[in-house]
């Protein structure tokens, strides 16, 4: 699909020739790009050229001289989005993109706090905890407070603390209703004290600290509010409360905030995103101009018809309809499958056919609602020898061996980092057992000092080993003085014994490979950041007596990494390469699986597909209980978010869209009998093409499916085939099926058939009982005969033979 040129795209309020920049924008895009300098909201539909508008807007502001690079802030959620913005901007304009504040919320906060660490009450070398680090920190606090881990589940407490912070609450602000929350607030306080002591901050703290400093320091606030003439926020529908408050701090009376988002693509409520921020923004910032980008440049008409019809079932929308000028394209194909195994097989064959027809494998995506679904598909692809790539899973910097290596590096930087200390003090083992560590932690607790400082308090053999560990770290620190980052890491890997340890492990080869990869990553980081002989400090702003007028590198061809070499605002001091690398590792967890190179089919959850697009998309597992997920069905908001998720999935496809569901599916080691997703019923028939005959007996739509599912004893649309182990499901207060019908279903046991049972039919062959209804002469069964589809049979007439 091409972007047709717009001949009218030439008018800009400037003497500079901006024609090249604005050429090809449609009227709405042009209006968005050339908006006056005041708060505005852009409702950017999927595939409407949102990133292009954002980057062109910045380029246009710069080119027309309305703002200098230092006056622009652009915030994103992911490093990937930030990078892409910088790359595209760099391609549009020969500007030093590094002078601009383009980055993730967390990256920009880091930049801010590095410059103002003193005012923020942080240590100069503060390190950043990722979620795993912060969880183990919480665990230590709970232990130190002698609390019951059953009553205060570390995961939940960590979640509680993060949520408090994301609501802008300090321990003292927590509303206390009962003893439990009282205690939780106390844990929060203790956790906070511990972080303070260790010189570490968690992700939420980066934002909250920044917000508080801006709120409380009028000088600083006025400075930044004056500085940023333009703030652009990407994916605004994903902002949480704190991010919105944060934004309000940086936006001064003369700041033009441009919020870009799509309420229909809000799929992160579960992690605190507040779609309501969009309407709050419109009201509180007195937005005069709301621009809707509804023209879609990605997909053909049938795909958009499906998307529009589906999302129309949601209430509480800001309202938006996607349109295209590319024609209807091919119909959306729908496939019913007998089992998840068959579904995988079908997807695979269809994908192979597309590939043989000339479509690159990486242009084919297989999407699913939950990660567990990938397994069947993976094994099918694996057995067929088709290259594929799975997104998600362990990220590079989260791998155990990498975390171990980073812990050593962090101790070299800051030996009071107790989290890192505990992680590697006995890894590889050096005779320091649980007893010794217990004593060490007790001593540290009593004196309020770090573990490092408390080593002397432990006697005996354990104490000696602890002293040996401290000496090891000291030794590494001394020996790596003046070495390059690469040399530091290599030295540490050997000196710590990590390499030797993994050499003797049977599964160690991969881990050593990863550790080597760490060296490579550090090398790349150094090159990218411009460390080395002519390191260049970046200007933060013109604040303070010691501010630096930094020399600018004449040209920056490559996209810079999101971690900045931010100098201290007063002294101009910058971080050591090691410290900067550690920050980088915390803020950017790296790729999950760098199986780059090969042309492979892309497998991922619908969530991780957001923002991506493919020539062909398969949405699999469209079954009640799975998609929409059963856990989301308890309230209307949950269902609407599932529907938005489906909307996101549909709008990923450029040319071909396939929807599939399966009658049975292996989940948690048990077979579930599913009915097709209600979302399929919400799509317009005119846009669809059923590849399999529509199942008989399901003609009356969802209500019928629902009742059938109910009778089979499960919740909304699916049931567990054998056993009653998963007793978690609770019946809704008002069952939609009359009690008499349920009683009838119970009596039906007389005929001896069971759901899930294999049977043989003279004409249709082998099949599986999917549904049982009625009793006595009225007893009927829905049997799935695979190739012949599912049939409803009267048990008193049809001759069904059980197979075992």
Partner DNA sequence: TATAGTACATTTTTT
Partner DNA sequence: ATGTACTATA
- 80 vs 788 by CB, closer to DNA: 80
Q: Which two tokens mark 379? A: 């094994």
Of the residues 235, 340, 564, 640, only one is catalytic, namely 235
511 lies in the site for DNA, by CB under 7 A = no
104 lies in the site for DNA, by CB under 7 A = yes
**Strands of 40-44's sheet in order across:** 101-104, 72-76, 230-233, 256-261, 40-44, 289-293
- Least separation in angstroms between residue 84's CB and DNA is 11
Contact map string, positions 196 to 215, toward DNA, x by CB under 7 A? -------x------------
- 450 vs 465 by CB, closer to DNA: 465
Q: Which of 34, 10, 32 is nearest to 23 (CA)?
A: 10
Task: Supply the DSSP string of 644-675, one letter for each residue.
Answer: HHHHHHHTTEEEEEEEEEEEEEEETTEEEEE-
Of 215-223, 284-292, 366-374, 534-542, which part binds DNA (CB under 7 A)? 366-374
Of 40-48, 87-95, 350-358, 431-439, which part binds DNA (CB under 7 A)? 431-439
Positions 388 through 407 that interact with DNA (CB under 7 A) = 392
- 230 vs 607 by CB, closer to DNA: 607
Of the residues 18, 28, 34, 50, only one is catalytic, namely 50
Annotated binding site: 44-51
For residues 662 and 674, the answer to whether their CB atoms sit within 8 Å is yes
587 lies in the site for DNA, by CB under 7 A = yes
For residues 637 and 383, the answer to whether their CB atoms sit within 8 Å is no
652 catalytically annotated: yes
- Least separation in angstroms between residue 645's CB and DNA is 7
Alpha carbons 165 and 478: distance in angstroms, whole number: 38
Q: Cβ–Cβ contacts within 10 Å for residue 667, how many? A: 20
106 lies in the site for DNA, by CB under 7 A = yes
Choosing from 271, 288, 552, 694, the residue that interacts with DNA (CB under 7 A) is 271
178 catalytically annotated: no
b/e 682-709 (16+ beta carbons within 10 angstroms → b): bbeeebbebebeebebbeeebeebbbbb
265 catalytically annotated: yes
426 lies in the site for DNA, by CB under 7 A = yes
Contact map string, positions 251 to 270, toward DNA, x by CB under 7 A? ----------------xx-x
- Least separation in angstroms between residue 128's CB and DNA is 8
- Least separation in angstroms between residue 684's CB and DNA is 26
51 lies in the site for DNA, by CB under 7 A = no
Number of H helices, E strands in the chain: 29, 22
For strand 780-784 and strand 765-773, is the pairing parallel, antiparallel, or unpaired?
antiparallel
Alpha carbons 445 and 457: distance in angstroms, whole number: 12
- 97 vs 587 by CB, closer to DNA: 587
- DSSP state for residue 450 in the 8-state scheme: -
Strand partners, 772: 781
Of the residues 652, 656, 672, 791, only one is catalytic, namely 652
Positions 282 through 321 that interact with DNA (CB under 7 A) = none
Choosing from 180, 595, 631, 758, the residue that interacts with DNA (CB under 7 A) is 631
If you search the block for the tokens 């119970």, which residue do you land on?
746
Choosing from 37, 93, 309, 372, the residue that interacts with DNA (CB under 7 A) is 372
Computed from CA positions of residues 223, 225, 231, 237, in that sequence, does the dihedral angle turn out positive or negative? positive
- 109 vs 256 by CB, closer to DNA: 109
Annotated binding site for ATP: 44-51
Q: Cβ–Cβ contacts within 10 Å for residue 437, how many? A: 18
Contact map string, positions 667 to 686, toward DNA, x by CB under 7 A? -xx-----------------
If you search the block for the tokens 């929350």, which residue do you land on?
181
Question: With the CA atoms of 283, 289, 290 and 295 taken in that order, what torsion angle do they form, in degrees rounded to the nearest 10?
Answer: -170
529 lies in the site for DNA, by CB under 7 A = no
Strand ranges inside 93-155, DSSP E: 101-104, 127-129
Contact map string, positions 589 to 608, toward DNA, x by CB under 7 A? x--------------xx-xx
- 103 by Cβ neighbours in 10 Å (0-12 / 13-18 / 19+) ranks as buried
Alpha carbons 680 and 673: distance in angstroms, whole number: 17
50 catalytically annotated: yes
433 lies in the site for DNA, by CB under 7 A = yes
Q: Which two tokens mark 251? A: 């936006």
Q: Which of 719, 717, 712, 711 is nearest to 624 (CA)?
A: 717
- Least separation in angstroms between residue 239's CB and DNA is 11
Q: How many residues bind DNA (CB under 7 A)?
A: 43
Rounded (10°) angle between helices 203-216 and 154-166: 30
- 159 vs 792 by CB, closer to DNA: 159
- Least separation in angstroms between residue 7's CB and DNA is 39
Contact map string, positions 131 to 160, toward DNA, x by CB under 7 A? x-----------------------------
Q: Which of 680, 754, 681, 744 is nearest to 711 (CA)?
A: 744
51 catalytically annotated: yes
432 lies in the site for DNA, by CB under 7 A = yes
- Least separation in angstroms between residue 503's CB and DNA is 15
Of the residues 84, 202, 234, 642, only one is catalytic, namely 234
If you search the block for the tokens 């802030």, which residue do you land on?
73
Binding residues for DNA, rule: CB under 7 A, are 77-80, 104-107, 130-131, 203, 267-268, 270-271, 369-372, 375, 392, 426, 429-434, 587-589, 604-605, 607-608, 629, 631-632, 638, 666, 668-669, 726
Q: What residues are annotated to the active site? A: 50-51, 234-235, 265, 652
């Amino acid at each position: 699909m091409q972007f047709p040129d717009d001949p009218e795209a030439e008018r800009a309020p400037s003497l500079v020739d901006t024609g090249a920049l604005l050429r090809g924008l449609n009227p709405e895009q042009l209006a968005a790009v050339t908006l006056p300098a005041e708060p505005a909201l852009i409702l950017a539909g999927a595939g409407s050229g949102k990133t292009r508008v954002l980057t062109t807007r910045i380029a246009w502001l710069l080119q027309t001289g309305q703002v200098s690079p230092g006056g622009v802030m652009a915030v994103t959620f992911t490093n990937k989005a930030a990078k892409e913005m910088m790359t595209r901007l760099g391609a549009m304009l020969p500007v030093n993109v590094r002078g601009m504040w383009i980055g993730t919320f967390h990256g920009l906060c880091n930049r801010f706090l590095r410059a103002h660490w003193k005012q923020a009450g942080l240590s100069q070398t503060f390190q950043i905890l990722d979620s795993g680090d912060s969880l183990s920190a919480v665990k230590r606090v709970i232990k130190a407070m002698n609390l019951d881990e059953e009553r205060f589940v570390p995961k939940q407490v960590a979640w509680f603390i993060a949520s408090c912070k994301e609501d802008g609450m300090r321990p003292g602000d927590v509303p206390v209703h009962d003893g439990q929350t009282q205690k939780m607030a106390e844990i929060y306080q203790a956790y906070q004290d511990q972080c303070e002591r260790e010189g570490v901050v968690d992700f939420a703290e980066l934002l909250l600290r920044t917000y508080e400093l801006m709120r409380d320091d009028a000088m600083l606030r006025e400075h930044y509010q004056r500085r940023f003439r333009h703030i652009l926020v990407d994916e605004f529908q994903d902002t949480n409360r704190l991010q919105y408050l944060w934004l309000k701090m940086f936006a001064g009376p003369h700041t033009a905030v441009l919020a870009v988002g799509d309420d229909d693509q809000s799929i992160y409520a579960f992690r605190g995103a507040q779609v309501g921020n969009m309407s709050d923004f419109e009201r509180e910032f007195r937005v005069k101009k709301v621009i809707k980008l509804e023209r879609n440049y990605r997909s053909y008409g049938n795909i958009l018809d499906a998307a529009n019809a589906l999302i129309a079932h949601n209430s509480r929308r800001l309202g938006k309809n996607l349109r295209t000028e590319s024609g209807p394209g091919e119909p959306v194909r729908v496939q019913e499958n007998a089992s998840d195994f068959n579904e995988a097989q079908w997807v695979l064959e269809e994908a192979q056919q597309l590939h043989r027809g000339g479509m690159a494998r990486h242009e084919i995506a297989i999407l699913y609602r939950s990660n567990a679904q990938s397994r069947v598909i993976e094994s099918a692809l694996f057995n067929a020898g088709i290259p594929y790539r799975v997104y998600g899973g362990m990220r590079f910097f989260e791998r155990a061996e990498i975390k171990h290596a980073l812990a050593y590096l962090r101790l070299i930087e800051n030996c009071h980092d107790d989290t890192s200390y505990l992680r590697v003090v006995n890894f590889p083992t050096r005779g320091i057992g649980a007893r010794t560590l217990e004593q060490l932690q007790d001593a540290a607790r009593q004196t309020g000092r770090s573990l490092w400082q408390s080593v002397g308090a432990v006697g005996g053999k354990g104490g000696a080993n602890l002293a040996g560990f401290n000496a090891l770290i000291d030794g590494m620190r001394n020996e790596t003085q003046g070495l390059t980052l690469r040399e530091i890491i290599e030295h540490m890997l050997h000196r710590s014994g990590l390499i030797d340890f993994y050499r003797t492990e049977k599964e160690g080869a991969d881990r050593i490979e990863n550790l080597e990869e760490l060296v490579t990553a550090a090398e790349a980081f150094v090159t990218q950041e411009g460390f080395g002989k002519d390191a260049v400090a970046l200007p933060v702003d013109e604040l303070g007596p010691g501010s630096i007028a930094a020399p600018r590198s004449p040209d920056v061809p490559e996209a810079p990494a999101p971690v900045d070499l931010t100098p201290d605002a007063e002294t101009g001091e910058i971080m050591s390469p090691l410290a900067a690398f550690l920050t980088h590792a915390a803020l950017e967890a790296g790729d999950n699986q760098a199986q780059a190179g090969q042309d492979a089919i892309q497998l991922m959850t619908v969530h991780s597909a957001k923002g991506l697009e493919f020539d062909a998309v398969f949405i699999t597992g469209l079954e009640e209980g799975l998609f929409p997920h059963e856990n989301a069905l308890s309230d209307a908001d949950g269902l609407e978010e599932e529907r938005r998720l489906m909307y996101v999935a549909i709008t990923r496809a450029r040319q071909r869209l396939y929807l599939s569901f399966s009658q049975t599916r292996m989940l948690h080691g048990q077979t579930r009998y599913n009915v097709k997703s209600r979302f399929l019923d919400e799509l317009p028939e005119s846009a669809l093409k059923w590849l399999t005959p529509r199942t008989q007996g399901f003609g009356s739509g969802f209500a019928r499916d629902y009742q059938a599912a109910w009778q089979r004893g499960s919740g909304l649309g699916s049931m567990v085939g054998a056993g009653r182990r998963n007793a978690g499901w609770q019946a809704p207060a008002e069952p939609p099926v009359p009690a008499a019908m349920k009683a009838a279903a119970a009596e039906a046991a007389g005929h001896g058939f069971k759901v899930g049972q294999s049977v043989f039919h003279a004409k249709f062959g082998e099949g599986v009982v999917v549904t049982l209804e009625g009793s006595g002469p009225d007893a009927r069964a829905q049997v799935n005969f695979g190739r012949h589809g599912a049939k409803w049979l009267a048990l008193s007439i049809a001759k069904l033979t059980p197979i075992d």
